[in-house]
Amino acid sequence: MTESIYNTIQALTEINSPSGHAEKAIEYVKNEVEELGYATQLTNKGALLITVNGDNDEAQKCITAHVDTLGAMVKEIKEDGRLALDLIGGFHYNAIEGEYCEIETSAGQIYTGTICLHETSVHVYRNNNDIARNSEHMEVRLDEKVNSKSDTESLGINIGDFISFDPRTQLTSSGFIKSRHLDDKASVAMIIEFLKTIKNEKLTLPHTTQFYISNNEEIGYGANASISPKIVEFIAFDMGALGDGQASDEYTVSICAKDSSGPYHKGLREHLVNLCKLNNIPYKVDIYPYYSSDASAALKAGADIRHGLFGAGIESSHALERTHMDSIKATQALLHAYCLAPITQK
């Protein structure tokens, strides 16, 4: 199981899919699940819906995870041929300083580069550690022979071209997965693996369940539309946030009680906790203070749902992220238990 889920996570993280340009990742998931025999549907926004029929078609569940990631766009082509960036998603420049990246032109040409502080060289710029890491000082150094704005433009690079970060995905011998974009491609990989389990073990779900692979979560409106009115419970299958004052860790499944949007549905949260207790799944309940999810977005869009959130504990979120296979396994176990359980009546 370790090799299978890791291979799926790695395949997903290596597909560039910043918010606004996640088509290739959506296509990957679509092909994977259609090979398993599931019918799919693309929304007008480009999200992917996978509906698995269950015994009860009137009271349905929705589980959403997102393939879109943090990224950037070309903001300006500078006079020396380097690129100014504009960030996509909620993170800071220090999280990407020194990172290798790819720039994709509107014609589909890929160029490589490195995200640098303009004043990087300590042999030239004294006290450069004091320089703010912001849009004024951070730029992309292209791996091309360019010395002017016109040199770069001649490559076909333009304002608005997408910039993607090298994921650097690794599985260590101690069981850690290190990579950018585990938020939320680890969850998408777990959904694919669960759909394999449904087919291989010939499972029948108690409720028809819509698996909603969203493509705009990082910018706030991933799975807030195209939701069936039959859906009663809506799970954001996303990451658990780790850090000082947090209960979550890299070895358990994290269940969210509250984030910046407010409390999650109390009865559904208690249902998830009880499933963990009944199935001996290691878990932590936590509050994520600077966080919101596609479940939050669905509520704000007017969906009449009970909303919940759980996922693997992800260290250093929105930067060079890490989790452990123990957390992946615990999260997979809760996904399995939740999908096979009746809808809570609380």
Over the stretch 49-97, which tens digit does the pLDDT of each residue have?
A: 999 999 999 999 999 999 999 999 999 999 999 999 999 999 999 999 9
Residue bearing tokens 């500078």: 78
Active site residue 217: yes
Q: Are strands 205-214 and 54-66 parallel, antiparallel or unpaired?
A: parallel
d(CA 41, CA 227) in angstroms, rounded, equals 12
% the chain with pLDDT above 90: 96
Amino acid 346: pLDDT: 67
Whether the CB-CB separation of 16 and 166 falls below 8 Å is answered with: no
Note the CATH number of domain 2-69+181-339: 3.40.630.10
Q: Determine the average pLDDT of the residues in 17-41.
A: 97
Which of 32, 217, 233, 250 is labelled catalytic?
217
Q: Quick one: which of 331, 179, 344, 314 has its CA closest to 250?
A: 314
Indicate if the pLDDT at residue 33 is higher than 90. Answer: yes
Amino acid 169: pLDDT: 97
Indicate if the pLDDT at residue 319 is higher than 90. Answer: yes
CA-to-CA dists, residue 161 to 97, 187, 328, angstroms = 19, 27, 34
Bond prior to 184 in cis (omega within 30° of 0): yes
Structure-model confidence comparison of residues 10 and 222, the more confident one: 10
% the chain with pLDDT above 70: 99
**Mean pLDDT estimate for the chain:** 96
pTM of the model: 0.96
Whether the CB-CB separation of 173 and 28 falls below 8 Å is answered with: no
Q: Quick one: which of 216, 254, 227 has its CA closest to 60?
A: 227
Give residue limits of the domains in the chain. Answer: 2-69+181-339, 71-165
Q: Determine the average pLDDT of the residues in 116-142.
A: 95
Indicate if the pLDDT at residue 344 is higher than 90. Answer: no
Note the CATH number of domain 71-165: 2.40.30.40
d(CA 329, CA 335) in angstroms, rounded, equals 10
Amino acid 223: pLDDT: 87
Amino acid 62: pLDDT: 97
Q: Which of 14-18, 27-31, 183-187, 224-228 has the lowest mean pLDDT?
A: 224-228
Q: Determine the average pLDDT of the residues in 33-51.
A: 96
Amino acid 22: pLDDT: 98
Amino acid 297: pLDDT: 92
Amino acid 156: pLDDT: 98
Tell me the pLDDT band of 2, cut-offs 50, 70 and 90.
confident
Indicate if the pLDDT at residue 114 is higher than 90. Answer: yes
Amino acid 279: pLDDT: 98
At 213-251, the pLDDT tens digits run 999 999 998 888 889 999 999 999 999 999 999 999 999
Indicate if the pLDDT at residue 202 is higher than 90. Answer: yes
List binding-site positions for Zn(2+).
66, 183, 218, 238, 318
Amino acid 14: pLDDT: 98
